Structure 1
């Protein structure tokens, strides 16, 4: 049910976390969560925000658990796709994890593995389909959700920042561009890993010791972005 993504696999299994595992090495007071996102059994949910119904219709937004296209059809993941027609579209995945200490402040080191088909250095009239799509990671004690203001505008119930900027509930950790160059003309999917090692993120658990983990794409590119989420890792360290 979980994927080992680092040397910390030698950890002692401590507690179940909604089908995943929290791992605590004897010499480390941090808790580790290793997770897959390759099928619906893992419990990840998808949402779309920062758009209005006049510019983006539901048929332009989609998701599903699928095998990746060639040349990475050896992998499966959660596909999230949207056609951004307003230069601002947020697409996210989220899941609740339990088993943390209640009412406790943690520093989170968040890592996400995904597949991108956009080389670096590609530009169009609006923005780059790679560098213009910011990857964000965050956590909250409440369920991340999309709010409809009644006038056809959809936005998040949390502070994720705007495009390249970070918010209090989610921070920018990189962009969608892969390691290929646009000049190569190679738009096949490539696996990429991002983390927030250079940007600390803090959150305090609720009375139940729950956290909702979130990853997403905050796009300033007017066009279609299709990302495949594969798996990741969370390291939660109590802040004394």
Structure 2
């Protein structure tokens, strides 16, 4: 099993991937514990009108987890108020040290804290906010769409509950409770299979984000992310 040392490898955490089956290449396993640092991940936002960052209350940072979670720990906090009915809040990281121009089968697992209650009607704060993830050869960035004045992604994530060519829906942020209480959730794993080709420098980009159909505020804390890349 090969690891990339710039990210913290913490295979003791139960939601991270076990090693491969007998005779199968375990590939590259990378885990990031956001309690320690942001580990090279950065945040950004898309699907909102330019120069409206304050109106949309867009915020990100390395912050203490909220009660009732363990407040001695930290996470990567993203927050925004979805006035556009389609706000995309995402984090991304570059993975290097791979074989150049090589196809990889990829997996991701995400642990995060959400206070969005389950089972509410209409544009629900939980079931209408979709967690997406994926891998790309190019860096995912927002670009200004001049015709509309909105920032859009340069990769195909589709919108809200639909998967795109680059990012797939791996679940939603409903916390499984009727109360708006922060709860640690885990989504992804080996049931979600991605395919990506590294670039000439042996790099790929990984993206995790929420695509919102809820017209209101959403605040999440990403706690840990695990990635596995298996050469094909």
After TM superposition, the score normalised by the length of structure 2 is 0.87
What does residue 211 of structure 1 align with? 204
1-side partners of 2:8 and 2:66: how far apart?
Answer: 27
Q: Which moved more, 1:223-232 or 1:195-204?
A: 195-204
What does residue 236 of structure 1 align with? 229
What is the CA distance between 1:110 and its match in structure 2?
0.8
Give yes or no for the alignment of 1:224 onto 2:214. Answer: no
2-side partners of 1:15 and 1:188: how far apart?
Answer: 35
Q: Which runs of 4+ in 1 moved over 6 A?
A: 22-26
More helix by share: 1
Structure 2: runs of 5 or more not aligned: 12-18
- 8 Å CA contact 1:78, 1:228 repeated in 2: yes
What is the CA distance between 1:161 and its match in structure 2?
1.4
What is the CA distance between 1:216 and its match in structure 2?
0.1
2-side partners of 1:51 and 1:189: how far apart?
Answer: 26
Cα deviation digits, residues 120-154 of structure 1 (max 9, x gap): 10234xx1100000000111122111101345310
Among 46, 70, 83, the residue aligned to 1:85: 83
After TM superposition, the score normalised by the length of structure 1 is 0.84
1-side partners of 2:4 and 2:104: how far apart?
Answer: 18
- 8 Å CA contact 1:17, 1:99 repeated in 2: no
Among 195, 198, 201, the residue aligned to 2:194: 201
Among 42, 47, 50, the residue aligned to 2:47: 50
2-side partners of 1:131 and 1:89: how far apart?
Answer: 15
What does residue 136 of structure 1 align with? 132
Report the number of matched residues.
220
Q: Which moved more, 1:191-200 or 1:79-88?
A: 191-200
Cα deviation digits, residues 176-200 of structure 1 (max 9, x gap): 00121x2xxx222100000053342
- 8 Å CA contact 1:162, 1:218 repeated in 2: yes
What is the CA distance between 1:104 and its match in structure 2?
0.9
- 8 Å CA contact 1:17, 1:98 repeated in 2: no
**Counterpart secondary structure, 2:162:** coil
1-side partners of 2:61 and 2:10: how far apart?
Answer: 26
Indicate how the Cα distance of structure 1 residues 39 and 142 shifts in structure 2: closer, same or farther if over 3 A, else same.
farther
- 8 Å CA contact 2:108, 2:192 repeated in 1: no
What does residue 8 of structure 1 align with? none
What is the CA distance between 1:162 and its match in structure 2?
1.0
What does residue 32 of structure 2 align with? 35
Structure 1: runs of 5 or more not aligned: 1-11
What does residue 18 of structure 1 align with? 6
Cα deviation digits, residues 93-115 of structure 1 (max 9, x gap): 00111121111111111101100
What does residue 177 of structure 1 align with? 174
- 8 Å CA contact 1:39, 1:65 repeated in 2: no
Indicate how the Cα distance of structure 1 residues 22 and 69 shifts in structure 2: closer, same or farther if over 3 A, else same.
closer
What is the CA distance between 1:40 and its match in structure 2?
4.5
